[in-house]
Chains A and B, each alone.
Chain A
Amino acid sequence: MSSIVLRGAAPMGGKPTDLLIDEGRILDIAPRISGGPGDRVVDAAGLVLLPGFVDLHTHLREPGREDAETIATGSAAAALGGFTAVHAMANTEPVADTAEIVDLVARRGAEVGLVDVRPVGAVSKGLGGELLAEIGNMARSRAGVRVFSDDGRCVHDSRLMRRALEYVKPFDAVIAQHAQDPRLADHASCAHEGELSGRLGLPGWPAVAEESVIARDVMLAEHTGSRLHVCHVSTAGSVEVIRWAKSRGVCVTAEVTPHHLLLSCDLLDTYDPVYKVNPPLRPAEDAAALRAALADGTIDAVATDHAPHAAHDKDHAFADAAFGMLGLQTALGVVAQTMVEPGLLDWAGVADRMSARPASIGRVAGHGGLIEAGRPANLTLVDPAGSWTVDPAQFASRSRNSPFAGHTLPARVVATLLRGQLTVADGALVEAVPV
């Protein structure tokens, strides 16, 4: 196995330098590394070097809906998006609620080998919201699950949520809550409750249905002394609750999706279900509050909530179509547009929110952190001036439901390295996706 020399890369957007990568690690960082005769030299002049991104929230759809996405196609989309690790959500068919299923997902991810696939275990059996799933067995399995979530559904029963928070403590695991009070926003609720939902006649999904659950959960986390993670925060009010909880010392972390950073509910005017997502797109003021919260660290991480859907699950009336949007291949570009360009985050900040903090929340060893000699070479090279126009037809994902189609995004991923191996070079997969 030959070494790789990254020539002239700018770690965290700082001073350009060379890096020598071998045996899966960064061996040396120096102004000039000549390298050996067989080494592959990657010209990284003008490129920003970041730790490989870690997604806390990915729907890979396998097992069950391989027509929409597979672990292979989702891994490819992730690598192209600059990710080196993704958390595969538990709402598959069957649900990832036993050690056997999470092991299957992790094993398949390792076979594909494009990103580290970290399975998320269900909190409740079958996502039923009544009985705890076999959390201990999943945590102790080879997959070593550290994130548990009923995502897609809320753990709405207060007692079950309390027990789940308590039960994961021996495993240093976290409960990732999809905050949605099902009595205030049921499965039919599909548009932010406000002027627009009233005018369009779409069932409203009020902000309070999210905020009240987060408020309860941070108090449960305080009571139990456990780790709580809040999925896809979508409202300014939720940010306030999380800020308050953090000021009290509660162990709570939170994520925001790229689409909630950039898009607003005004897009629903067309009734096009490509804009249907859960939680729903909110007014522009909420998006602004989310950007500010990501900038000041109240929100810890960007997570894609990549949710592939077959076209025939979107070709319905808005209320009948599936919830969800693609996110893996556009995440970096949207974060560059919403956070880097306006000066809310520098590249070190992007590394923190897209890699270090999510790796820490998910207890993903070897990912995130600093770029220094001796560390595993999970890295992403970004062209900060590489603007591109989104064309979902070109995506590696098996689905096409991107709300960013036609958007021009300001930055692109040029290369991704997983443990020292290039998975993506020149913006394309190094090897065809194993099917």
Chain B
Amino acid sequence: MDNDAKLPESEEGTVLFSVDPVIIKQHYEIDYLHSYAQDSPFFAGLARKKLMGSLCPGCGRRYATPRGHCMECGEPTTWSELPHEGRIHTYTTCYFGGEAFLQETPFTLILVEFAGVDTLFLSRLVGAEPEEVAIGMKVRARFLRNCKFKPTDVYFVPA
């Protein structure tokens, strides 16, 4: 037994914002082992410059954003390549955003509609000023050469 036991002291301090009440900086960060699981072929497709959507063999519904089972009839879907050209269904230019995207502002978000496909695809539009963007405008997909396996590996430009 040591009656004079001591914890070692450290040089690290705490960032303090206020003493009434006491407000300190509390850091939190984490890396996940994130699996795209059944959606993996979409992200693998981006590296091959392919846009992979879903087709329901049960009811024929076509999805621009993939899903493993049909939203309407519940059947398992199959993979189906989407065209690289579509039209803007709606759009916005963001001048603010979540912290992770603040440096990228302003950026333009679009929902893309493809002929014969029942649902839409969220992406970014580059190469057009905010006032040049319009609903119905033709757009064409481009792909990053250095794939990051994220949905931003594909983006759209005016067609």
A, B: real partners: no
